[in-house]
Structure 1
Amino acid sequence: MAGNNLSLGIDLGKNHLVLCLLQKTWRGIRLVDYQVKTWAEDFSVEDQLPFLSNFVAQYAVAKDKVFLAIPREKTVIRFLRLPLAAQENLRQVLEYEAPKYVPWEVEEICFDYQMLHRDGQGLSLVVLFSKKREVAHYLALLEKIGLKPHAIQISSVGALNLFLYHAGGNYKNNTVLLDLQGSMAEINFLKEGQWQENFLFTLPAEKKGEKIIQICQMGGVPETELGQTEFYVYGTGAETKSVSSWLDHPSLKYVTPPPRHKIKTRRGESLPPGIYGGVGVPLPGLIKTNYKLNLLAEEKKKKTRQMGKPLFISLVFLTILLTLSWIWGSYRKIQDELQFLRAEVNRKKPEVTAVENLKKEREKIVKDIAEFEKLSSLEARKIDILKELTQILPPTVWIWNLKAAGREIEISGFADSASDLIPLLDRSPLFEKVEFLAPVTKERDRRLGSDKEKERFKIRLYLEKKRL
């Protein structure tokens, strides 16, 4: 199973271990597998490492997708109000002020915070404190089986994120999340989807409902609003039948398990309320969650965040290398094809030269034939002209010069009456536009045996267009 869309949550309680493996699919978040292990007081978390190792060995989970929740008893939650001036160096301010909020020395403390609200009067934030040695202890345990968590939080933060994931922005005025773990109980108050307060307390042997109502009033929910407040109960203690009896109080009208329908299970079974907080622990590895509190030391958080940098650089380098390889391969392929084409051109060059020579020779022959046909046509046309002139002109007409250039014809000669020639030539179907080119002159006919005057003429005429 691919590990890039898997996220593992390890919820360590005082006497229980909840393992939840989530997967992000196109249909939403799916609970791939989960295991719950409880133990008696004389056992420790270290005794459960084989159980944890066997579960992890079944799945290829990415190292940056492991989330750890440590026991709530090992932490302290404070909701603080600070002046606006503290925002610029907020972490340094909290480090300096930490002994005011927890009974530990500064060098013992590790913490993380999240801004809840900012207005004109100041900053509202939630701070999660723990001891460095407690966090180091759990990190060392996980390192024994090769696990390095991406974040360390508490299961109540996971429950909040899971609840808000289901709410989808549809928030009620007052909401109470009640986590029952044996004799311990934890309450988280939300007002219009905003985290307001948190209480961890021991449940009394009797009058548990009254104790819960008392804590609610301490958290800012007056008794008059309890009837409109929704109570969502989860945890290993919520699976017992006695819960409904001691929560049967006139002021508590809406008591139900938290919504779980968005988490798909293997066979469609309902998500057990006992693992509700544990299911929310790995949720930040798959989606953007509302609350992100991480007790890892700053340098370890930076290291964790930077774990992906070498991989990212490697992927970028690999992408560039593959791109360059593809470009080089394409270039070599084009060069090979070009070389092949050049060789083909050189091989075909003599044939091309021979074809070009044949083409030139053909063009010369065609030109010679055209000239010959032109000459033949011209000679044939002159014969037709002479024949026509012989037929239409009187025998007394003597033509001593004839020129033909295109349609234009020029004839010179002698006739008894040159003016009679114009209508004769004009009536011919072969000629048109008949006219004298020069004035008619009279000359004596000097041919042998003749002493008669003749009129010398020079006439221009054109062949009919349809005759061409």
Structure 2
Amino acid sequence: MIALRHLQDVSRADFLTSVGLYLLSDRVIMVRLRKSFLSVSMLEQEERELPEADNRQAISELTGWIAEDVREIALKAESDSRERALRQAIVSLLPHFNSVRDQVYLCVPQDQVIVQQVFLPLAAQDNLQQVLEYEIERQLPFKRDEIYYDYLPAGKKGEKLCLYVFAIPKKHLDGLLSLLESFGIKPRGVETTVTALANYLLFSQEASAGSAAIVAGHGQNWEMIGIQVKANGWKPASELLFSHQLPALEWAHGTGKELLQEYLEGVPKLYRCGDLGALNGLAAGKIAEAEDIGALGNARLKGSKQNSQAETLPAIGAALHGVREASLAANFLRHEGADRDGYKTLSLLNTVLMGLLVLALIAWGISFPVKDELRLRQLQKENQKLEPSVQALRREDSQLQLLRKEASYLSDLDLRRGEVLRILDELSKVVPNNVYFSNLRYRAGVLEVQGNAENASALIPLLERSPVFENVTFNAPSNRGRDNRETFSLKADLEKPKVNAKEVTKVTPTQPTKDKAKP
């Protein structure tokens, strides 16, 4: 398990720098991160105010009795004023990052974005992109060519597949992209605070398995984000559980209170971010006890300020994409040519490390037959040195085996010597003097005799009566020659000694009878 964790860490190793820009209505927050192999540190943190136009309130109060062209001119003037302020802010931020080398990611507040929960049939899972492209106009009050959008799968909910669709009107984003492009800045991605804060939390707690929720305050509104991490083999899979944004002042009078209580009961871990004092009644409860994710991230993000403002965290979450530490990928520019999972692809460093690993594995695999061949040659040389000694030992062993065989034969002969003498002695006693033996062979308790006699058949009863022989028979028919003598071939078994079993007779005592006295 530890080895798998180390391999996962090495797969994320790189040397990168990235910039996260969080664009609020009244300020721009820039964060620059650097990744050195596996360590992520904050290099720059800057904030620029965007002064609002003096006539903003007056413009917002323009009603229908004003001529349409006058209203358009006023709104155009307000837009131009904001663009000038934003341009000045970007100019002042340019010295703090490299617009060519650094990857730039933008984060916009959720109140500028549409977040819609969409349910699709499970059959659409294989062609999710095509189905959503067809359904987008039915789910959102915009035409397809009027918005930038992206989505995140949220798992199965019953018999439906749940998605969270994020969309932003092009007219709100095109001007900003054009302004940045005029400075040579081409953002790699644009996302909302939902995924930015979720990625910051996943980075801070190192994507441990389980579910967690964030309650974040953003001035006049607050949002609640839920995430879940599932163990999925090589790399944990992260999902968005829920996302809601409600006005901070009216939360207790609508569905906000019910949503907050319902979702807080379903997650074991709760984190807070920003000013949540408007959520009265809960400040002393579970939210007050929740850990601030700003302090949570300080342990892993080197160089960060100990008292980082809550508005800085979305900028950090956006910049995590550039250093390949983001878990949730939502990018409004994906359909315009940006790669949805570009930060997950292998970098040059990963490619080099993988190449070195492959070469090391190949060298390690080749080393085994090479080592075996070297050992074999070494053993052959040692065997050649020992060959004369081995041959001498083999000769001595053959001589030893021969001597053992001769010794065994002599020992066996010595053991059988008593039986042979007994047989010869018995034959000399039993066989008549007119019987001649030409050949006598004894082996393993069997005696074979060849010879001639005047009456060969008379030998069988003589030998049978002997206490030494038994089972006496002819090996072949006897023949009588010209000299009136029969040639014979007999075979007899050496009689085995019999063990006389002593029969033990039980004597039953008889009771004595008393004689009756005669009268």
How would you bin the TM-score normalised by the shorter chain? 0.5 to 0.7
Identity %: 19
Tell me what 2:22 maps to: 11
Q: Is the 8 A contact 1:265 1:271 kept in 2?
A: no
Question: What TM-score, normalized by structure 1, do the two folds share?
Answer: 0.55
**Secondary structure of 2:216's partner?**
strand
Give the 3 Å change call, closer, same or farther, for CA 98–303 of structure 1 in structure 2. closer
Question: What TM-score, normalized by structure 2, do the two folds share?
Answer: 0.50
* 1:301 Cα deviation from its structure 2 partner: 1.6
Q: Where in structure 2 are the equivalents of 1:337-352 lying within 5 Å? A: none
Deviations 1:98-121 (A, max 9, x none): 233222223312211233335994
Tell me what 1:284 maps to: 321
Give the 3 Å change call, closer, same or farther, for CA 47–92 of structure 1 in structure 2. same
- 1:215 paired with 2:256, answer yes
- 1:272 paired with 2:317, answer no
Tell me what 1:147 maps to: 185
Q: Where in structure 2 are the equivalents of 1:350-361 lying within 5 Å? A: none
Give the 3 Å change call, closer, same or farther, for CA 4–62 of structure 1 in structure 2. farther
Give the 3 Å change call, closer, same or farther, for CA 280–304 of structure 1 in structure 2. closer
- 1:31 paired with 2:31, answer no
Give the 3 Å change call, closer, same or farther, for CA 304–132 of structure 1 in structure 2. farther
- 2:290 and 2:221 mapped to 1: Cα distance? 18
Please say which of residues 249-258 and 98-107 is displaced more in the overlay: 249-258
Any runs of at least 4 consecutive aligned residues in structure 1 with deviations exceeding 6 A, and if so which? 243-246, 303-306
Give the 3 Å change call, closer, same or farther, for CA 70–274 of structure 1 in structure 2. closer
Please say which of residues 142-151 and 124-133 is displaced more in the overlay: 124-133
Equivalent in 208, 227, 245 of residue 190 of structure 1: 227
Q: Where in structure 2 are the equivalents of 1:315-394 lying within 5 Å? A: none
- 1:22 paired with 2:33, answer yes
Give the 3 Å change call, closer, same or farther, for CA 300–215 of structure 1 in structure 2. same
- 1:145 and 1:200 mapped to 2: Cα distance? 33
- 1:163 and 1:54 mapped to 2: Cα distance? 30
Tell me what 2:87 maps to: 49
Deviations 1:364-385 (A, max 9, x none): xxxxxxxxxxxxxxxxxxxxxx
Deviations 1:18-75 (A, max 9, x none): 1000011246211111112334542625412222233223333545611011232221
Tell me what 1:328 maps to: none
Aligned length: 299
Q: Is the 8 A contact 1:161 1:291 kept in 2?
A: yes
**Secondary structure of 1:35's partner?**
strand
Structure 1, gaps ≥5 residues long: 317-468
- 2:337 and 2:270 mapped to 1: Cα distance? 37
- 1:303 and 1:188 mapped to 2: Cα distance? 21
Equivalent in 278, 283, 288 of residue 248 of structure 1: 283
Give the 3 Å change call, closer, same or farther, for CA 304–251 of structure 1 in structure 2. closer
* 1:164 Cα deviation from its structure 2 partner: 0.8
Q: Is the 8 A contact 1:29 1:262 kept in 2?
A: no
- 1:96 and 1:274 mapped to 2: Cα distance? 36
Give the 3 Å change call, closer, same or farther, for CA 233–36 of structure 1 in structure 2. farther
Deviations 1:398-449 (A, max 9, x none): xxxxxxxxxxxxxxxxxxxxxxxxxxxxxxxxxxxxxxxxxxxxxxxxxxxx
Give the 3 Å change call, closer, same or farther, for CA 101–54 of structure 1 in structure 2. same
Tell me what 2:216 maps to: 179
- 1:232 paired with 2:267, answer no
Deviations 1:280-314 (A, max 9, x none): 111011124221111115243269969x9xx99xx
- 1:186 and 1:245 mapped to 2: Cα distance? 15
* 1:167 Cα deviation from its structure 2 partner: 1.8
* 1:185 Cα deviation from its structure 2 partner: 1.7
Tell me what 1:203 maps to: 248
- 1:127 and 1:267 mapped to 2: Cα distance? 32
Q: Is the 8 A contact 1:63 1:147 kept in 2?
A: no
- 1:243 and 1:229 mapped to 2: Cα distance? 23
Q: RMSD across aligned C-alpha pairs, in angstroms? A: 3.8
Please say which of residues 117-126 and 74-83 is displaced more in the overlay: 117-126
Deviations 1:152-193 (A, max 9, x none): 1113311100101122233555x3312222212222123566
Q: Is the 8 A contact 1:12 1:69 kept in 2?
A: yes
- 2:32 and 2:126 mapped to 1: Cα distance? 38
Give the 3 Å change call, closer, same or farther, for CA 273–154 of structure 1 in structure 2. same
- 1:303 and 1:168 mapped to 2: Cα distance? 22
Deviations 1:76-115 (A, max 9, x none): 1123221132234322322222233222223312211233
Tell me what 2:116 maps to: 78
**Secondary structure of 2:262's partner?**
coil
**Secondary structure of 2:123's partner?**
helix
Give the 3 Å change call, closer, same or farther, for CA 28–271 of structure 1 in structure 2. farther
Equivalent in 129, 147, 151 of residue 109 of structure 1: 147
